[in-house]
Structure 1
């Protein structure tokens, strides 16, 4: 069976299976986090933008208070939102997440994307005339402020999300602390082999978000999407062979290749089921078959409100 964790450049270990919390409503996410903790999850992927960190923090506080869980058993990640890219805004934004999560340090802090927005009263998506306002803050300068969080002992590792190869190369040429992780959309419909190989060559761990291909995300008008991954006959056939669900196969697809993944669910039975992925093994041929489903179908495109015109928009390049 494959390892359950990946060792980062910092020497710290990140569990390969985590709970995703994007679009997990505040009213239910605390219970979901508690169920996940009871089911053995130790990696939790959070973000200021998700607006539910206080409830997740309440779950941590409750379980830590019961005395059956130690802080060093948890691996908690959060993300710096685009509105706080100005260097002077980085630490206050970090401390706000830290306070809401009710912790005294984070294990991983990611830059949510390379694109900066102006900080206008802390608005998440500042707009004018129906278009997103953009800032010209250089993500390299943002990164330097994030490095200071490591040096102050507030976070153990720092990384990025939604960065392409050229942006990673530029960051690597300027950093003091190399990004430990790049969190990107990855699944059999979007395997991104060049990016995966590049990160591997630089020692940058990958975290795959949307491992099921965003089944709940509505298809934009006129977009011809492939059938949902969870209903794909090839995925289903492999799942039936192993006596597993399609979701478990899609999670195993990443974990077996040393890529962390953060499936999101708020359904207790599915949270538990999604963790049952260490008692079977995909063959090399099955891995190759799943990779063969690649059709470069990106579901999280960040192209709303004119965002694709941002000078640091990451999806116009590899």
Structure 2
């Protein structure tokens, strides 16, 4: 099995730096996709309540025969379920669909600032953490201002912030804030849904190292310290996305990729999405 490095979260829990995402994978296709990923060597699986495929993830885990403590499972709370009591009920529902006694990481999916419930939601997360039904708690799509407010008004600093991040949207200010406060940066849409794969700098590096453009971008994520969760339902690509440990980008390569930052969002703006 490919040896995937771990990132140590701020509460001492270790999380694989490279995982498998199932965004936009229909539930009836998810079991096969996750089974392929587990067979390839992935041990971290990222899902969410809104994806509608937690049951499919759970089936794949149950059928895999892999010991539970060898897996790292993340799911996320949807916006409509924010609020203290609603969060507790939603977490129970996710556990039931996954068929698990606990999850490794639970995230608030979006800050949803117009709803203004993420502080009460986080207090429910802290309760779940205290009960031992989740090993680490974090957020997704939070901006610096959201994180500052959360940390000033609650007791647990998020272990992870999962955000849109790729060479076209490098989130330098946010990553620097994370580093100062011990929050791990996790990238969703790590390939910008393919939008950065045609960039000349990426193509040149792929040709130089004899790898695919996607492998170049995933390697970039790993070398700058991001946790990354590429998604594919194509078995060859699932395996290829894991095969990124046989080459290393130079400092000059990293500088050429840093120049691709252009504020390119493929998803919603966290300040307005509710």
- TM-score of the pair, normalised by structure 2: 0.95
| Residue aligned with 2:197, SS | helix
Partner of 1:190: 169
Displacement of 1:138 = 2.7
2:10 corresponds in structure 1 to: 9
Contact 2:141/2:161, CA 8 A, preserved across alignment: yes
Q: Distance in 2 between matches of 1:211 and 1:94?
A: 26
Listed as ranges, the gaps of 5+ residues in structure 2 are none
State the partner residue of 2:108: 111
Structure 1 unmatched runs, 5+: 117-133, 216-227, 314-318
Aligned residue among 237, 246, 252 for 2:219:
252
Query: Partner of 2:187: helix, strand, or coil?
Result: strand
Counterpart selection for 1:232 from 199, 224, 228: 199
Q: Contact 2:4 / 2:16 at 8 angstroms: preserved in 1?
A: no
State the Cα deviation string for residues 43-92 of structure 1 (Å, max 9, x = none). Answer: 1111000001101110000013xxxx211110000001001112111111
Query: Is 1:292 paired with 2:259?
Result: yes
Structure 1 CA distance for aligned equivalents of residues 127 and 191 of structure 2: 35
Match of 2:84 in 1: 87
Aligned pairs, number: 272
Q: SS in structure 1 opposite 2:168?
A: coil
Out of 105-114 and 87-96, give the one that drifted further.
87-96
In our comparison, the structure showing a higher alpha carbon Rg is 1
- Is the CA contact 2:4–2:18 (under 8 Å) kept in the aligned structure 1? no
Match of 1:212 in 2: 191
Q: Distance in 2 between matches of 1:143 and 1:188?
A: 30
Q: 2:125 aligns with which of 146, 156, 176?
A: 146
CA contact (8 A) 2:104 2:136 kept: yes
Tell me, yes or no, if structure 1 residue 100 matches structure 2 residue 97: yes
Instruction: Verify: 1:165 aligned to 2:162, yes or no.
Output: no
Pairwise CA distance, 1:27: 2.4
Counterpart of 2:19 in structure 1 is 18
Q: Deviations over 1:262-289 (max 9, x none)?
A: 1110111100110001111011111111
C-alpha displacement of 1:172: 1.0
Distance 1:4 1:244 in 2: 20
Q: In structure 1, which of residues 251, 269, 276 is the aligned counterpart of residue 243 of structure 2?
A: 276
SS at structure 2 position matched to 1:107? strand
RMSD: 1.6
Offset, 1:3:
7.2
Secondary structure of 1:214's match?
Answer: helix
CA distance in 2 between partners of 1:92 and 1:137 (Å): 19
Aligned partners of 1:214 and 1:243: how far apart in 2?
Answer: 22
Alignment-derived partner of residue 129 in structure 1? none
- Find the counterpart in structure 2 of residue 225 from structure 1: none
Which residue of 1 is the match for residue 45 of structure 2?
44
